[in-house]
Structure 1
């Protein structure tokens, strides 16, 4: 399973999500791949200091982070793309309409919202950008991410168990005929407002 988190600048929300997801995956004994990117990211920027601090307080192991703009190759390599807001999802789909089937708002997906739920309803799941605010705002962001990611991983784990030989992005396709097996695509993944 390959998960890509997307925000604005890839310095706050999406890298926090990437690290928290990796931490929770390790606790679950899962070796899924996680990465992050930003819709308007300036390449090579580090994670913001308050975001790092919020992760350290949670004993999350930190990996070197360098921001990067989202591109088609990243999206194609992911089984599921999780954005921080409905606006992020809309922009990803506008730029890469053929990827729409795998792009979801993290909070909405975690809560089990229907894929065709109206945009005005999906916005209730938006995760506000903490960039430029106090450490308290980053704490709230990290706490929200922890809850959403835990729910999301549980949902994906259940889907994988239901369709063990298909990727989640293929789960809506016609099932294999008797005697055939769905196969993984074998693609590999690589990890201002302006924050993230």
Structure 2
């Protein structure tokens, strides 16, 4: 079973949406995955943003996510660590350079082209929806890639 860790800044927007969406997709496709998320500067226990929760809910995805800070334990647990930005990737590798073979931005992992997932923090539900759609499209490609392995 593959273990995936998504990483962003506060673990209240992008990474928990990616965690919830990929978990949902894996259940639908009966694909064996464990998925978690964390934030480099997360405040442990913070709730997922209301906008992110609303966007997920409209897609039939329920979550009771609480933020957690990125830890050595989570980094060791993961088979692959997918960050939302190049800056997040660099921050992880600065602290743990030996993980360079399992840390990627989400986009570079599936396309070999590292570009950032937009940060919807503090924006409208519509901006969160666009962010979730972007994440969803990348995760569809990810699932296709893994199903061929």
TM-score range, shorter chain: over 0.9
- Does 2:73 match 1:73? yes
State how far apart, in whole Å, the 1-side matches of 2:100 and 2:22 are. 22
Alignment-derived partner of residue 163 in structure 1: none
Q: Greater Rg, structure 1 or structure 2? A: 1
1: CA distance between counterparts of 2:131 and 2:145? 21
Question: SS of 1:131's equivalent?
Answer: coil
> How far off its partner does 1:157 sit?
2.8
**Structure 2 match to 1:154:** 144
Q: How far does residue 99 in structure 1 lie from its aligned partner after superposition? A: 1.1
Q: Encode CA deviations 1:169-190: one digit per residue, 9 max, x unaligned.
A: xxxxxxxxxxxxxxxxxxxxxx
Report the TM-score when normalising by structure 2: 0.95
Q: Which residue of 2 aligns with 1:44?
A: 45
Structure 1 residues not aligned, in runs of 5+: 114-120, 160-196
Structure showing the higher strand proportion among its residues: 2
Deviation of the 1:98 alpha carbon: 1.1
Task: After TM superposition, list the pairs within 5 Å mapping 1:105-116 onto structure 2.
Answer: 105-111=105-111, 113=112
Looking at structure 1, the residues matched to 51 and 17 of structure 2 have their Cα atoms a distance apart, in angstroms, of: 10
Comparing 45-54 and 145-154, the one that deviates more: 145-154
Residue 54 of structure 1, CA deviation:
0.6
Matched with 2:63 is 63
Question: How far, CA to CA, are the matches of 2:133 and 2:63 in structure 1?
Answer: 20
Distance in 2 (CA, whole Å) between partners of 1:8 and 1:30 is 28
Deviates more, 1:22-31 or 1:44-53: 22-31
**Are 2:53 and 2:63, in contact at CA under 8 Å, matched by a contact in 1?**
no
Match in the other structure for 1:10: 11
Alignment deviations for residues 45-89 of structure 1 (CA, whole Å, 9 cap, x no partner): 0000000011011111x2321101101110111110000011110
The runs of 5 or more residues in structure 2 that have no matched partner are none
TM-score by length of 1: 0.73
1:124-143 pair list within 5 angstroms = 125-143=115-133
Cα-Cα RMSD? 1.1
